[in-house]
Chain A
Amino acid sequence: MQRRTILRTMAALPLATCSFGAWAAPAAGSKFLLVFLRGGLDTASVLVPIASEFYYRVRPDIAIARPGSLPDAALALDTSWGLHPALGDTLLPLYQRKELAFVAFAGTDDASRSHFETQDSMEMGQPLTGPRDFASGFLNRLVETLGGSSGGAAGGAVNPIAFTDQLPLVMRGGQHIGNVALQSVGKAVIDARQRDLIAGMYAPTRFSVPVGEGFAVREEIMKDLADEMDSASRGAITTKGFERDAQRVGKLMREKFDLGFIDVGGWDTHVGQGAAKGYLATRLAELGKGLAAFAATMGPAWRDTTVVVMSEFGRTLRQNGNHGTDHGHGTAYMVLGGAVRGGRVAGEQRVITEANLFQNRDLPVLNEYRGVLGALFARQYGLSARAIDRVFPGAQPRDLQLA
């Protein structure tokens, strides 16, 4: 029996009775990527509530048509849900291979509807009431719980990285985590002697570790992406945008890193979001291509990889006055991976009617993200309830048996 299978079987027991303290180290080769869609994705256009009369009534111009009703209608996932047609070539095959699950009615209890407030509070992953540590993100605490970052002074077990030009809040905290902007990868201009001189100046300062990491990560990336640069410089056709970034992320996570973060902006569709075609459809197609490219690039390591795609909130169920949608509440997450128990829409659900809306405008949150992600991490990494409580303090685990 594979170690992973044992973990999964045992993790199926109620969390409270489990204790995996002896196995605090991550399962060998286990990898996790968080994809954050900043701006508030309109998930009702991605995971389409095809059985909801109300949805079609309140979105006369931007609804995705019922499966089979039009050439570019939603693609049926089951009798309640459909998939946006722009994702047919990329995410539908993953769903059919049971490597993609959706979590409907997901989200946070933070109802400020502010992008920034909600993103920050989600990235911190701390209880909404009581004092909060604004310098501690949940992925940083996960790294700590898994035995620490290899980049730190102690040289821990995890090799985390943010593929962003700034270190995101979710990865800030006690563990040293590097970041690299995939767009700014280029030829090395600082030679080894200069690197040592600069590192020497920083040795007595609080920036000593990030300076060292910055050099190390850049060298690593240069090495891993050397052949891509090489073929690009010989005129090969290269992908662009998120698909290219996701391929790079795949390559780097396959070769070196095991816990990653990337974000994608442009989801704040207040005006003219389109339906089966249009602005949002184009962005979704790009997202789908990227996720499929990431899965393919990971190769055999995809078996041990989990990807969670989330956004700070969903959008109003009713379309607004400009064929767009405004800031809402409940959203839907995607969980992808070679060993994910996919091919289903997981979590507590309700029929979408006017009466079931949150504050008569938004999807309700029935599957709180800290509980859902905590249970996912418990399964993937074999972590005890106590360990998970350090990642998401005070959260009620909500095990959707995703991994």
Chain B
Amino acid sequence: MPLWCLGLLSACASAPGSDAGPAPAPPVVSGAALAPVPLLDRLSWGANSADYERIRAEGAQRWLQEQLQADPAAPLPASVNEQIADMTISRQPVARLVIGLESQRKSADAVPDEEARKAAQHDYQLELNRLAREAATRSLLRDLYSPKQLQEQLTWFWVNHFSVHQNKHMIRAMVGDYEDQLRAHALGRFRDLLAASARHPAMLAYLDNAQNAVKHVNENYARELLELHTLGVDGGYTQRDVQELARVLTGFGINNSDPAATQAPKLKRELAGQYLRDGLFEFNPNRHDYGDKQLLGHTIAGRGAAELDEVLDLLSRHPATARTISRKLARFLVADEPAPALVDAMAREFQRTDGSIAAVLRVAIGSPAFAQSLHGKFKDPVHYVVSAVRLAYDSRPIVNAGPMVNWLNRLGEAPYSHQTPDGYSLAESAWSGPGQLAVRFEIAKAIGSGSAGLFKTDGPNPSERPAFPQLANALYYQSTQASLAPATRQALDQAQSPQEWNLLLLSSPEFMMR
């Protein structure tokens, strides 16, 4: 038995007892309390006056405890709730949405007149675009205004970890639900996150598993599941493991047809009852390879859909997964090159708690390395843009996230738009090049100069509310100002207008860090 199997057994043995009960949680950080602004800049989507006051009122300890508890229904400002409730992706389950769109596509393709057909196909594409835009907007609104800031950051992290590209097939209609499924487990168990992505039509479509069938094997998803989602490229698997996992994954796919109008496939007698359908997700026994598989030294008995559960258990409890996920979380929340000792401590906690993300984060946040790292991470574009808007408008909700999506597009980090399955880079070097910085200053100017379209409604009769970014605010004078370098203060002193002062503050080296 390889060594790691022993580790696996002990992890399983200790798992049930470690499930967090109702006992009061110990303090997250010991010793001196962390300063509110650096803490917010790292664990929230950027400091603003409202959260600054909140931490000052309740203390960093209590704020951290709250942040580590998941609450997918966290209250948002009423006007933001209304915006979200009005969205099609909030009103319709993804299966109904996609089944409706699929029939719209078919009718569009069947229009006999060429011009009319093109118009109908165009409408179909516009609807897909609109749904993806809704998902991006909902995501950004939660980042801006949710009191559960760490949960929203981790939601971004997992959507990026299990990355899909919206422009393939009908994924634009699915990304909203995909994000919601991952968000529900963002601070929960890794095994649940893995299962949520493995069964989601967005992932099954993106990595071609919907096409993976016995005698028509496609190993795309199998490879990325091992390399990117779980064990990591140095996790010790072989090409043979990829091929065997691809066999396990045969038959797991998507069904876009209306369940009321379609029948389950005819099955051989010995496969009777094996067909599964849940929304768009489908397990079709006729497409599954029922032979036994050899994966990572284990025999997976060929028996149908249960193989996937067995394999997800195996992968999520593999020590290499604990290390890979811990290292990536540390990259996101501590430093580009986290100390091996910290990663080891997080990985041990990952195994001890059977993959509890909140527990692993608790180890990271409580470490001395975390306190020392604050304001040492360079913001990637999404952190940059969201933190700028949070600071500029605080708790006054924007009505249009479109300009933010456009800025993220220009900066190369738009929602659901990374073409390859590795997701966006978490490293400074990916985002601090000359071309990146030059564009960032232009966006700083757009945000600093006025409302920038953030308060203008969409639609045929747009209305715009007056708004101006409030950056020279109480937070600035109480806290930020004192932390600025002399060169930054000198530049701010030379500003000739409030707009220019805003441009300089949002362009300052200090504002690039979190």
- List A residues at the B interface (Cβ < 8 Å): 38-39, 111-117, 135, 162, 164-167, 172, 178-181, 184, 189-190, 194, 197-198, 200-205, 207, 210-215, 217-218, 265-266, 268, 270-271, 320-322, 324, 326-327, 359
Contact = CB atoms under 8 A, between A and B. Distances in A.
A207 B242 CA distance: 42
B431 A166 contact: yes
Contacts of B227: 114, 116-117
Nearest to B442: A189
B437 interface: yes
A359 B487 contact: no
B422 A116 contact: yes
B491 A326 contact: no
23 contacts: A113-B239, A113-B242, A117-B227, A165-B436, A166-B433, A180-B434, A180-B435, A181-B439, A190-B442, A194-B504, A198-B441, A201-B488, A203-B487, A204-B487, A207-B509, A207-B512, A214-B438, A218-B435, A265-B419, A271-B208, A271-B211, A320-B216, A321-B215
Nearest to B443: A189
A131 to B, nearest CB: 14
Contacts of A38: 420
A117 to B, nearest CB: 5
B218 interface: yes
B419 A114 contact: no
A223 to B, nearest CB: 15
B29 to A, nearest CB: 29
Interface residues of B, number: 52
A284 to B, nearest CB: 18
Interface of B: 208, 211-213, 215-220, 223, 227-228, 233, 239, 242, 410-412, 419-420, 422, 425, 429-439, 441-442, 445-446, 485, 487-488, 490-491, 494-495, 500, 503-504, 507-509, 512
Given A165-B412, A322-B218, A197 B432 contact: no
Contacts of B490: 200
Contacts of A198: 441, 491, 504, 507
Contacts of B441: 190, 198, 214
Contacts of A111: 239
Contacts of A359: 239
Contacts of B439: 181, 184
A359 B208 CA distance: 24
A135 B429 contact: yes
A322 B211 contact: yes
A214 B435 contact: yes
A200 B410 CA distance: 25
B233 A265 contact: no
Contact of B420 (A165, A202, A265): A265
Nearest to B439: A184
Nearest to A265: B419
Contacts of A270: 208, 211, 218, 220
Contacts of B500: 194
Task: Kindly list the 10 A-B residue pairs having the minimum CB-CB distance in the complex, ordered from nearest.
Answer: A321-B216, A214-B438, A214-B434, A167-B433, A213-B434, A165-B412, A179-B435, A210-B434, A178-B434, A180-B435
A181 B435 contact: yes
Contacts of A117: 227, 233
A217 B435 contact: yes
A189 to B, nearest CB: 5
A189 B445 contact: yes
A201 B508 contact: yes
B350 to A, nearest CB: 23
Contact of B435 (A115, A165, A190, A320): A165
B434 A116 contact: no
B487 A201 contact: yes
Contacts of B233: 112, 114, 116-117
